[in-house]
Structure 1
Amino acid sequence: MRKKLLFISFILTALGASAQQYSLSGRVTGPKNEPVSFTSVYIRNSTYGTTANEEGRYRLKLSPGTYNVTYRFTGYKEQTESITITDHDEAHDVQLASEIFKFSQVSDKWKDNLDPGDTIMRMVIDKRRAHLEEVKGYSCAVYVKGVQKLLSSPKSLTSKAVTQALDLDSNGRGILYQSEMLSNLNFELPDKVREVTIASKQAGVNTAFDYSKASDLQVNFYNNVFKINGLSTRGYISPLASNAFNFYNYKLIGSTIQNGRTVDKIEVIPRRENGQYFQGNIYIVEGDWRLYSADLMLTNKRSSLNLVDTLRVSQQYIPITDSVWMPAAVQLNFKGSVLGFKFGGYYEAIYNNYKLNPTFPKGFFNGEILRIDTAANIKTANYWNANRPLLLTRQEARDYQKKDSIAAYKKTDIYLDSIQHTKNNINYFTYTIFGYSASNRAETDSLYIFPFLQTFYYNTVEGFGINAKVRYSHKIDDLHSYSITPALRYGFANKLFSANMLAEYFNDPFHNSKFYVNFGSDVLDLNNVGTRSLYFNTLSTLLYENNYVKYYRSQFGGFGYQRELANGVLWMGGLNYSSRTQMYNNAFGHLFDVKNKEYTSNNPLAPAGTPPDDHSFLFPQHQALTFNTSVTLTFDQKYITRPTGKFNLPSKYPTLTLNYRKGINKAFGSDVNYDFASADISQYNMRIGLSGFSSFKLTAGDFFNHNTLYYMDYYHYLGNQGTTFDPTYIGSFHFLPFYTYSTSGAFFEAHFQHNFAGSILSKVPFIRKLKLEEVIGANFLSTKGNPNYKEFYVGVQRLIFRVDYGVSYAGNNKYIQGFRIFYGLR
């Protein structure tokens, strides 16, 4: 019995030893003992590997056995070494030799061709689609690391407090932000993606751009156009694109032998000085005519990058099978400068454990492109030390340690108490434009006071007035919250006081579900889609005697509900009751005496020349009970699932919205009796190759019962009068009067806009540096009695600033032309 127990113990010990993993670690250097940063290190004939860090240090976790370990980086000769792991961690340093590409090796092969690089690339491009589609789908593990550093800073702008807060050295250098992520990535042609993030970690403040999912770093030069989220609104032509010879020249630098394969080094040379083009080198496997690796560069001077000055894209492919190669590592390395502050950094993606052409269950790709595990953000330091494939540098480890300590301290009662007062201090300048926000230290309760620009106003109906509005929000837990928004309004000229409240309860963030109720009294715009804000209407009224907005009085109550019934299907409905009263002008003040100018009546249908104190009839005092509902269908809706809810992403297909509104007669004294239905289809930011992106919206509708309805029940349009306009919504007009075209009949409106994203002006010297985006567009409207209203415009924009020049036509007659501007305020 004792011998049997000893034998079982021996077997268990042996099995445990065989299951034990040990570390293979070391440092990769070059011929001059310099660290070779980001060297790919992988087990040959496997899908398992890692990448060396900036110091050239690497680590692999391996079970006991003998392995052929390959070390590879662009510019160095690939090296494979046989390493045996026994019962302990193994240290193994590697010194790589510089790669020598010899043109003589291929001179005989291409002796009849004056441009051998072109010939090689024609063969590669001929097989581009085959390589793009050779794997129908795959699953793999992905590790993504991002680091943003301050490389130098002007001493005149860097105080001691800033240096300490950012942990900068004497030269103004330090890590601003770093992040890590471990995900399981699934892909199926043509573009189906589903990813699960199992671990995520951030430290510091992100000052540039971020890639929050592994699919953001899917670099595939076999696609015709290469897109870089966050750094450009335009795409970049791949050196392997089907029409690449229109944009690039290719030069064969030479060839070398790597593991029995001939690899050609090809220099990529843009044909034009400026444009969406790469420059650098790509490496091609002869015979297979596929990518071996890529080392390409984009520059702000040539390609109009945003945020950064240079971006280097590096990629390493490894053979998964004899006929299939997949990326082992991808790196985006960037540098830039702002106001004398020089920054840089990288995002590195490491791919492991490929499973090719797996059988995904039916419905697996359901639109959820990313799910973040509930425990992803709470992984311990020990977990990361055991699982991160890219070792931290000494600087990164120290930065994590310090910022983790700071983050822990910021959760203590002492710290929260100390910053509570400071955090809620009011800045009167920002309050004037953006409002004021305050919250308790746990951020479960918050208060927002609406901007002063929307609080103090003037119009010809109320005179000077105050519209005091605040919003209180309370977070019950991660999935439930509510907000209450009371408002008080008083006009000094008509001495009319209004008070109302909106309450919303959010009960299911995974289905975009909420209830709302509102009640009270208010002074409202007769155009229910809005005209000009209180701020702009005050300016136009007092400075130019243009009282564009027309008002009426409403005492109301209502409630409603919305919910996503299925992915991409959002339903909402509501019931509202109101008592509505016509209003008239009471105040006629102005700051300047504008010659040949007079205020207009508050009746938008009054003929031109009607005196401003007009009391003509527009509608009687009445009551209205209205039911409204809509369904929005977003085709192929993509979304991200976080522990706190579902977040929908823009779709590459149009969105269809169906609307219905019913005026219910006689119930509760309601006087209205009508039925209205409309449909609109829209899509925003459709990429059009290298030429920017387009947006459009089409809407059609009709009142198929209009027995009794009043002016505010008409269908209204988002028109514009005055020199300022709001271009953020595709569906607005540049010159259309606010009320003239409102209808109780059938209508059709169409809007189209294209943003060239700098593809034209980037070719003009000097102007190129301004990074202006060119815009063209057209708007169309046809209603009964007012057919064929149209507008055409051109413009330029930069960030929040935009200037358009356009012309409009009412029928065949020119109506209005001129400039329209936008500078961020609405």
Structure 2
Amino acid sequence: MKRYLLLCVFILAALSVSAQQKQYTLSGKITGPKNEAVSFASVYVRNSTYGTTANEEGVYTLKLAPGTYTVVYRLAGYAVQTDQITIGEQDELHNVQMQSEEFRFTQVSERWRNNTDPGDTIMRMVIKNRLKHLNEVKGYSCAVYIKGVQKLLSTPKSLRSAAVTRALDLDSLGRGILYQSESLSTFNYEEPDKVHEVTIASRNAGINTAFGYNKASDLQANFYRNIFSIPGLSTRGYVSPVASDAFRFYRYKLIGSTVQNGLTIDKIQVIPRSELSQCFNGSIYIVEGDWRIYSADLLLEGKANSLNLVDTLQVRQQFIPITDSVWMPVSTLFNFKGSVLGFKFGGYYEGIYNNYKINPTFPEGFFTGEILRVDTAANMKNAGYWYANRPVPLTKQETRDFQKKDSVAAYHKTEAYLDTLQHTKNHINYPGYLIFGYSASDRTERDSLYIFPFLQTFYYNTVEGFGINAKVRYTRTIDDFHSLAITPALRYGFSNKIFSANMLAEYKNDPFHNAKYWVSFGSDVLDLNNVGTRSLYFNTLSTILSENNYVKYYRSHYFGGGYQREVANGVLWSASLNYSSRSQLYNTNLGHLVDVKDREFTSNNPLVPAGTPPDDRTPLFPEHQALSFTTAATFTFDQQYITRPTGKFNLPSKYPTLTVTYRKGFQGVLGSDVNYDFASADISQYNMRIGLSGFSSFKLTTGGYFNNKRVYFMDYYHYLGNQGTTFDPTYIGSFHFLPFYTYSTNGGFLEAHYQHNFAGSLLNKVPYLRRLKLEEVIGANFLTTKGNPNYREFYVGVQRLIFRVDYGISYAGNKKYLQGFRIFYGIR
């Protein structure tokens, strides 16, 4: 009996605790003085770190246990409203009508009136305290909700067809939601820049083809830093209104002051000194005495904003006191608008921060470089979960969009749809196949086939004449962690009548360590420069139209294999063993499809003197066999990464990357004739931001052969040179004018590359040109070898998206070598 009594007491106690912890919903609509909806107003419980924001329609919700709360309603431009609200054993409806904020020169701020520039004086105090507020917390953790919406605001009538309206789910005025997402995460930070985030729930609907901020670290907007960056929308940086040198870029005007919750808040108008500078305009609100940011409402707009994809971007941020001396953001909002080809679009990304813990003690080894981990069940939360846990209610339009797209997603999993989809998506698009190739897959998408583009299939060169290089890739996805890709290829030259067949197989078995095996075998016609020269497409064009047969070929029968794995975070190791039988090839087709005056083809031996007849058969190397071993280790310092349920995804590092390579040629093994030892090291870094002046990239490589007893030309160290008008600027280690084979070496070498992208900071000041949003580029390349010392290149250029034009000049030793234009338009 006693046992049953104790059990009853325990159950009653548990029910009592459960009742105390049960939460109810405080909700309502926030309007302004004219009954207009107040979008994105902050709503939070005073003396806590718990809050939310209203949605676009001004509707808000808060989950609260029974009790009495002081709830604060805040938004820049409106007077703060503080209400005492009691939550009983039921949901509570509480609508709020906020009044416009009146900033005046009160007695508290009267002392600023006699100052020539009172706004300047206040901001000098803020800037003086900038570092204090930047570093006032050593670390923190919080819960973050991220919401994003991209909408079509209007569609040109001429394009508002039934098909477009149906495909984009638009209303009669051409409006609709293109994409929306939401996520719930825990976010942890420790000085100086350690971040660890865990996404516990994630959801999206639609297709995001432009940009997005779907994790908490994307919205870490910090105006206490000198430069404000906007990844995805601009390659430029923008001067913060509280930067250490902000007075070079801004003027400030005190609009007035007000007292809110016992604090004097100064409203400062932020005014760029030049309309062409990389600056915000708008308002910033300052806590007088503490000289800290209370809230910010800043805007990038106009012709000089250098934003890509959008025309205007509004950045709003609200701070609340966590302790007497620590303030943290309670919300951050990116609101954008733009237009393209008559389509007007807009949307927002907002972050809501709750449950701050300041200076927590993180376990040793907590920060490992993993900046984001997505929980395995993050994408499996149903609509009920989101209704109960999202802090910002959906608008009616957003709710409808989620419901419709969820229904569509469910339909897309039905047998009938999968059958229809397979037929539709596997339909060949011939213009697309010409450049991008053709892809097909089964219903489950576990088996897929890719046919390489037509531009890479049919070709012409002087060694093979016209030829076919038929290449496909079959991929089998075994499960989320294992996949097999097989790429067979057939090649035939109609002039030299050489048939080649080869295959490459790759088996990926550990996506969390970037691990894979590969094996290749067969025969092929290969470039003597093993780092690549010109693609089959561009070599065909230059050979036919310009009578420039730049690429030189040889014949190889081979087999080999290798393995790679990330042995530790930031350390990628690979090794391979290859055997080949190699023979020299000669020109067999020297016919002129287009006869170019004063120009003729050159020999397939790249080392013969200029003027040698194109049908020359001077030996470059004898037929031989080669067995070689290569191993390399790449060290990415401070490697940061994202862990998803399907694998690890490394992010670009802000520190240089070091790669060390060793290659050995074995003599006498399996009849191998080669005998050499080669080692190299290169260090590189991309996109280093240089203040407001854009970003720089560099690559420095050195190495050589410490044993070169028997090295054949294809085993030399080769460079990524360039001949012809087109070039590939996507790799920082390439040259503009360097011949493909002349500088190849079997000795020591040193090459250096540097490039700086001004990100429009120069041309943005030129009328008319600023509308093009061009990015200015300068750079230099250097190479020295034992036989060819001091080759240099210098160039300037402009680029816009995938298009780029450079003009450069090169020197070989003390003599000018080549100069001219080089262009790139997205095809390599």
TM-score (norm 2): 0.98
Q: How do residues 237-276 of structure 1 correspond to structure 2 at under 5 angstroms?
A: 237-276=239-278
Counterpart CA distance in 1 for 2:113 and 2:218 is 43
CA deviation profile, 1:170-222 (whole Å, cap 9, x unmatched): 11111111100000000111111110000000011224311121110011100
Counterpart CA distance in 2 for 1:28 and 1:219 is 26
Cα distance, 1:659–1:390 mapped onto 2, change above 3 Å:
same
2:158 is matched with which residue? 156
Counterpart CA distance in 2 for 1:426 and 1:167 is 26
1:740 is matched with which residue? 742
CA deviation profile, 1:236-294 (whole Å, cap 9, x unmatched): 10000000000000000000000011000000000001121000000000000001000
1:579 is matched with which residue? 581
Counterpart CA distance in 2 for 1:7 and 1:462 is 92
More deviation, 595-604/621-630:
595-604
Is the contact between residue 145 and residue 347 of structure 1 (CA under 8 Å) also seen in structure 2? yes
Counterpart CA distance in 1 for 2:42 and 2:242 is 23
2:62 is matched with which residue? 60
Counterpart CA distance in 2 for 1:665 and 1:676 is 14
Cα distance, 1:547–1:71 mapped onto 2, change above 3 Å:
same
Q: CA deviation at 1:780?
A: 0.3
The percent identity for this pair of structures is: 75
Counterpart CA distance in 1 for 2:594 and 2:655 is 51
2:180 to 178, 181, 184: 178
Counterpart CA distance in 1 for 2:170 and 2:767 is 38
Is the contact between residue 106 and residue 254 of structure 1 (CA under 8 Å) also seen in structure 2? no
SS for the counterpart of 1:312 is strand
Q: How do residues 497-576 of structure 1 correspond to structure 2 at under 5 angstroms?
A: 497-576=499-578
2:136 maps to amino acid? E
Counterpart CA distance in 1 for 2:364 and 2:643 is 20
Q: How do residues 579-728 of structure 1 correspond to structure 2 at under 5 angstroms?
A: 579-728=581-730
1:79 to 78, 81, 86: 81
Counterpart CA distance in 2 for 1:139 and 1:345 is 28
Cα distance, 1:4–1:371 mapped onto 2, change above 3 Å:
closer
Is the contact between residue 490 and residue 501 of structure 2 (CA under 8 Å) also seen in structure 1? yes
1:386 is matched with which residue? 388
Counterpart CA distance in 2 for 1:795 and 1:208 is 26
Counterpart CA distance in 2 for 1:815 and 1:9 is 90
Counterpart CA distance in 1 for 2:421 and 2:14 is 57
In structure 1, runs of 5+ residues without a counterpart are: none
Q: CA deviation at 1:823?
A: 1.0
2:631 maps to amino acid? T
Is the contact between residue 129 and residue 291 of structure 2 (CA under 8 Å) also seen in structure 1? yes
2:482 is matched with which residue? 480
Q: CA deviation at 1:166?
A: 2.2
Counterpart CA distance in 2 for 1:250 and 1:269 is 6
Cα distance, 1:530–1:208 mapped onto 2, change above 3 Å:
closer
2:769 is matched with which residue? 767
Counterpart CA distance in 1 for 2:5 and 2:196 is 53
Is the contact between residue 106 and residue 258 of structure 2 (CA under 8 Å) also seen in structure 1? no
1:137 is matched with which residue? 139
CA deviation profile, 1:622-669 (whole Å, cap 9, x unmatched): 000000010000000010001000000000000000000000110000
CA deviation profile, 1:286-332 (whole Å, cap 9, x unmatched): 00000100000001423111111111111110000111110001111
Q: CA deviation at 1:4?
A: 8.3
Cα distance, 1:695–1:7 mapped onto 2, change above 3 Å:
closer
Counterpart CA distance in 2 for 1:683 and 1:139 is 31
CA deviation profile, 1:533-564 (whole Å, cap 9, x unmatched): 11111111111211111111000000100000
SS for the counterpart of 1:739 is coil
CA deviation profile, 1:134-153 (whole Å, cap 9, x unmatched): 01100000000001111111
1:402 is matched with which residue? 404
Counterpart CA distance in 1 for 2:806 and 2:108 is 57
1:457 maps to amino acid? Y
2:440 is matched with which residue? 438
Cα distance, 1:736–1:66 mapped onto 2, change above 3 Å:
same
Is the contact between residue 458 and residue 467 of structure 2 (CA under 8 Å) also seen in structure 1? yes
SS for the counterpart of 2:670 is helix
Counterpart CA distance in 1 for 2:175 and 2:113 is 52
SS for the counterpart of 1:295 is strand
CA-based RMSD:
1.3
CA deviation profile, 1:713-741 (whole Å, cap 9, x unmatched): 11111111111111111111111111111
Counterpart CA distance in 1 for 2:523 and 2:465 is 18
Counterpart CA distance in 2 for 1:5 and 1:786 is 91
SS for the counterpart of 1:458 is strand
More deviation, 76-85/249-258:
76-85
1:48 to 41, 47, 50: 50
1:115 is matched with which residue? 117
Counterpart CA distance in 2 for 1:124 and 1:479 is 52
Are 2:96 and 1:91 equivalent residues in the alignment? no
Q: CA deviation at 1:31?
A: 1.4
Q: CA deviation at 1:106?
A: 4.7
Are 2:324 and 1:341 equivalent residues in the alignment? no
Are 2:34 and 1:26 equivalent residues in the alignment? no
Q: CA deviation at 1:105?
A: 3.5
Are 2:192 and 1:187 equivalent residues in the alignment? no
Is the contact between residue 105 and residue 255 of structure 1 (CA under 8 Å) also seen in structure 2? no
TM-score (norm 1): 0.99
In structure 2, runs of 5+ residues without a counterpart are: none
Counterpart CA distance in 2 for 1:440 and 1:743 is 48
Q: CA deviation at 1:161?
A: 2.0
Q: CA deviation at 1:12?
A: 4.4
Counterpart CA distance in 1 for 2:816 and 2:534 is 24
Q: How do residues 171-250 of structure 1 correspond to structure 2 at under 5 angstroms?
A: 171-250=173-252
1:565 maps to amino acid? V
SS for the counterpart of 1:816 is strand
Q: CA deviation at 1:417?
A: 0.4
Is the contact between residue 251 and residue 271 of structure 2 (CA under 8 Å) also seen in structure 1? yes
1:429 to 431, 438, 454: 431
Is the contact between residue 109 and residue 256 of structure 2 (CA under 8 Å) also seen in structure 1? no
Cα distance, 1:607–1:119 mapped onto 2, change above 3 Å:
same
More deviation, 308-317/102-111:
102-111
SS for the counterpart of 2:82 is strand
Counterpart CA distance in 2 for 1:111 and 1:771 is 42
Q: CA deviation at 1:158?
A: 1.5
Is the contact between residue 266 and residue 283 of structure 1 (CA under 8 Å) also seen in structure 2? yes
Counterpart CA distance in 2 for 1:197 and 1:157 is 39
Q: CA deviation at 1:517?
A: 0.3
Cα distance, 1:678–1:63 mapped onto 2, change above 3 Å:
same
Counterpart CA distance in 2 for 1:200 and 1:770 is 37
2:788 to 786, 789, 800: 786
Q: CA deviation at 1:14?
A: 3.0
Are 2:293 and 1:291 equivalent residues in the alignment? yes
2:759 is matched with which residue? 757
More deviation, 335-344/122-131:
335-344
Is the contact between residue 25 and residue 57 of structure 1 (CA under 8 Å) also seen in structure 2? yes
Q: CA deviation at 1:15?
A: 2.6
Counterpart CA distance in 2 for 1:375 and 1:743 is 54
Counterpart CA distance in 1 for 2:7 and 2:622 is 100
Q: CA deviation at 1:10?
A: 5.3
Counterpart CA distance in 1 for 2:176 and 2:611 is 68
Counterpart CA distance in 2 for 1:420 and 1:12 is 55
2:123 maps to amino acid? M
Counterpart CA distance in 1 for 2:21 and 2:719 is 70
Is the contact between residue 236 and residue 306 of structure 2 (CA under 8 Å) also seen in structure 1? no
Is the contact between residue 163 and residue 172 of structure 1 (CA under 8 Å) also seen in structure 2? yes
Is the contact between residue 579 and residue 623 of structure 1 (CA under 8 Å) also seen in structure 2? yes
Is the contact between residue 105 and residue 254 of structure 1 (CA under 8 Å) also seen in structure 2? no
Is the contact between residue 542 and residue 589 of structure 1 (CA under 8 Å) also seen in structure 2? no
